[in-house]
Amino acid sequence: MKNVLKVTALSLALAFTATAAQAEENIAFINAGYLFQNHPDRQAVADKLDAEFKPQADKLEASKKNIDDKIAAERKKIDAKVAELQKDAKNPKQRPSELQKREADIQKQQATAEEEINKLVTEHDKAAQEFQANYEKRQMEERTKLLESIQTATNKVAKDKKYTLVLDANAVVFGDGKDITEEVLKAIPKQAK
């Protein structure tokens, strides 16, 4: 009987302790994606990156246009020479050896042009890859700064409101807590500036 009474008392004590512990938990939620999309500095950062990389992007675009123009010009030259050769081939006074020599010259010119264009394309592709890598690196640096400011603002709001746990709303299936996303969003400018 004493053992049963001890077990019952212990069970009741554990139940009250668990209930009290749950009552002390103060849980809140934030929507991190929403905070990032609506971050007060997000557009300024995007504009800053655009301004920083615009000269390089314009240079790459001009390089691409130059390559396209060179391809079109070389194709036009080759097509004109081929058409002239075909026209001369119909003339019975033309010697076959002369026609073969001109055809070989056209093929040589075409191969040289292709080699030059391939070199330009390779250089352009290398520059484009470097540009992309640099842009992604800078974008990640700026994104990290924005996320750090969100984290700082979340920590400040959580401490001020005495929340013991703050979760991302997208990671929780069900929860009984307060959504503090807007409060955190309002706290961000004070942290980010």
Whether this prediction's pTM lies above 0.85 is answered by: no
CATH number at residue 13: 3.30.910.20
What is the pLDDT at residue 87? 84
Mean pLDDT value across residues 69-74: 92
Average the pLDDT over each of 87-91, 116-120, 156-160, 178-182 and give the range with the smallest value.
87-91
The residue segments making up the domain with residue 159 are 2-192
**Total domain count, the chain:** 1
Least confident of 96-105, 157-166, 171-180: 171-180
- Contact by Cβ (8 Å): 190, 39: no
Q: Give the Cβ contact number of residue 12 at 10 Å.
A: 10
Residue 157 has pLDDT above 90, yes or no: yes
Residue 61: name the closest of 152, 161, 128 by CA: 128
What Cα–Cα distance (Å) separates residue 62 from each residue in 57, 91, 151, 153? Answer: 9, 44, 41, 43
Please give the span between the terminal C-alpha atoms of the chain, in angstroms, as a whole number.
68
